[in-house]
Amino acid sequence: MVLAMASSRLQEPSFLILTALAAGPQHGYGVIKDVQEISSGAVTLRVGTLYGALDRLTAEGLVELDHEEVVDSRLRRYYRLTDAGGAHLAAEASRTRQQANTALRRLRESGATRAATA
Amino acid sequence: MSGDAGQAAQDEASSRTAALAASYRRILRLFPPRYRAEREEEMLAVLLDCAEPGRTTTSWAERLDLGRLAAVAWVRTALGPSAEARRDGAAVLAILLPLLLLFPSGRIALAGAESRRYHVLRDYLLLAAWDWPAWLLWTGVAALVLVGLARWARWPAVAALSVYVAVLAHQLSAHNGTSFARASGWLLAQVVAAALLWSPMRAQRGTELVRARWRWAIAAGVAVLSVAAWQGVFLAGTVYMGPRGHGDAYRLAAGAVVVAGLGAAFVWLRRPTGRVVVPGVAACAAFALAVRAWSSQLSDSDWRSSASPDLHLEGLVLVVVAPVVALLVTRILGELIRLDPPPRTDHAAASSAASATGEG
């Protein structure tokens, strides 16, 4: 079941959350800040979006609870990537890179064609 | 002086934070109780961390965002109990659902007894013929599941289902569409039970439902009780009750059973396995009742005349919607009255330890 779910493609928020957790365990607020940084400010996760994605990724076995601590009377729960989560992120990153490379190559080729015909 | 000003600013900031936290908590009350117990403190901390300084109320965007997540959480709560509870519940359903066939079997036998003055009892026995073999086969299935032979139980389950489908198909071909529609609920119960048995995960679970030393005793008990119960209903109808007035006694007994069943279902809903079994039974019952209501709208001419098929679409929609509504309502009710506490977090443990130390 987990494998079947994990074989599905990641949406952008999930991809970015897994990318943030690839550096090590982080709490919710840390993930939001990290995602903002990874996306160069293009993506700001809302709290509902973050926890919706975390619920889904946890159910799929891609993310798990690492530990929790209380800072200034506030509960911080740290999440980490599982082995399956790391493998899935790697596969997804590779697929995205392949698609991006193809897009760039075709743009270069069509640019060269346009230059030749001009 | 500057110290007082600093203290005042600090007090102002903390009162604003408290107001904002209260505002967030009001929205978080929208979530299912279990979800709140697990996530509320954590989410509140993240919401407060993300909020711009000085804010005292939530924004519309945050309300919509959290409202959407609350709706998703309720849907997941309604549809997804834990995997372990699903396995246990499925195994219980595979045993329980087909045994409910006792009801139509006994009822038809009783109908034969009630009308013996006017009809030949043998006709009613023949009318009930499709229930009995199926029911007896399902009794064997239940016994096999209980002794841990769930894989073997699949075959008599398929046989029972085949017998039932064959006779129902015969009924339909004989233009007895109303009988077919009224038996659809029992058919669904058997299809669900058979599907649960054919799922490898469910079938394996049967061996863990009952402790080894009790399995044979319980299986024998189910078999004896089933046969005895059927005999009891049959004899009650044919021997002990007279041709007049005994229908009331039967209805009274049936009503008592229904009330007791509803009470037991309510109590069982508070347990994880019950939160799978009760909604499953409720969905099947809702389907059966909806089909029955729908079939009562259909006159014989509707089934026999292909020229003007009036299917009463609102009844057909009810057949689809009623089981889903019954499933969701019982699942949500179970979630609201559940007994098992949410998993204890380190934070909760630390809080209670701190309060215990303070008290000491």
**Cross-chain residue pair A75–B49, CB shorter than 8 Å:** no
In a domain, B188, yes or no: yes
- All residues of chain B having their beta carbon less than 8 Å from the beta carbon of residue A27 are 46
In this predicted structure, what is the pLDDT of residue B97?
72
Q: Are B41 and B126 part of one and the same domain? A: no
**Cross-chain residue pair B69–A48, CB shorter than 8 Å:** yes
Q: Are B228 and B305 part of one and the same domain? A: yes
Chain B contact for A52, CB < 8 A? Answer: yes
Q: Are B109 and B250 part of one and the same domain? A: yes
Q: Are B126 and B241 part of one and the same domain? A: yes
Question: Rounded to two decimals, what is the model's pTM?
Answer: 0.53
Q: Are B72 and B117 part of one and the same domain? A: no
Confidence of residue A34 (pLDDT cuts 50, 70, 90): very high
User: Is the pLDDT assigned to residue B235 strictly greater than 60?
Assistant: no
- All residues of chain A having their beta carbon less than 8 Å from the beta carbon of residue B46 are 27-29, 32, 47, 50
In a domain, B219, yes or no: yes
In a domain, B349, yes or no: no
Q: Are B30 and B90 part of one and the same domain? A: no
In this predicted structure, what is the pLDDT of residue A28?
92
In this predicted structure, what is the pLDDT of residue B173?
66
- All residues of chain A having their beta carbon less than 8 Å from the beta carbon of residue B347 are 68, 70, 75
Starting at the edge strand found earlier in the chain, the sheet holding A74-81 runs: A26-27, A74-81, A63-71
**Cross-chain residue pair A52–B43, CB shorter than 8 Å:** no
Look at the block and give the residue holding tokens 């669904």: B188
Q: If you write DSSP's letter for every residue of B84-131 in order, what string do you get?
A: HHHHHHHHHHHHHHHHTTHHHHHHHHHHHHHTTTTS-HHHHHHHGGGH
Chain A contact for B39, CB < 8 A? Answer: yes
Chain B contact for A32, CB < 8 A? Answer: yes
In this predicted structure, what is the pLDDT of residue B228?
60
Q: Nearest chain B residue to A66 by CA: give it.
A: B346
In a domain, B139, yes or no: yes
Domain that holds residue B69: 8-52+59-79
Q: Are B175 and B281 part of one and the same domain? A: yes
Percent with pLDDT over 70 in chain B: 56
ipTM above 0.95, yes or no: no
In a domain, B345, yes or no: no
Q: Are B73 and B90 part of one and the same domain? A: no
In a domain, B153, yes or no: yes
Q: Nearest chain B residue to A32 by CA: give it.
A: B50
Mean pLDDT, range B182-191, rounded to an integer? 76
Q: Are B68 and B114 part of one and the same domain? A: no
Q: Are B47 and B89 part of one and the same domain? A: no
- All residues of chain B having their beta carbon less than 8 Å from the beta carbon of residue A48 are 62, 65-69
pLDDT digits over B62-95, tens only?
899 999 999 888 877 766 666 666 667 777 777 7
Q: Are B21 and B162 part of one and the same domain? A: no
Shortest CA gap B74–chain A (Å)? 12
Q: Among A46, A48, A75, whose Cβ lies nearest the Cβ of B42?
A: A75
Which 3-state string (H, E, C) describes chain A? CHHHHHCCCCCHHHHHHHHHHHCCCEEHHHHHHHHHHHCCCCCCCCHHHHHHHHHHHHHCCCEEEEEEEEECCEEEEEEEECHHHHHHHHHHHHHHHHHHHHHHHHHHHHHHHHHHHC
What is the total count of domains within chain B? 2
- All residues of chain A having their beta carbon less than 8 Å from the beta carbon of residue B43 are 28, 47, 51
In a domain, B1, yes or no: no
Chain B contact for A50, CB < 8 A? Answer: yes
Question: Mutation test of the interface with chain B: which of A54, A67, A77, A79, choosing the one with the most B Cβ atoms within 10 A?
Answer: A77
Q: Are B98 and B39 part of one and the same domain? A: no
- Answer yes or no: are the C-beta atoms of B34 and B342 closer than 8 Å: yes
Shortest CA gap A53–chain B (Å)? 10
In a domain, B96, yes or no: yes
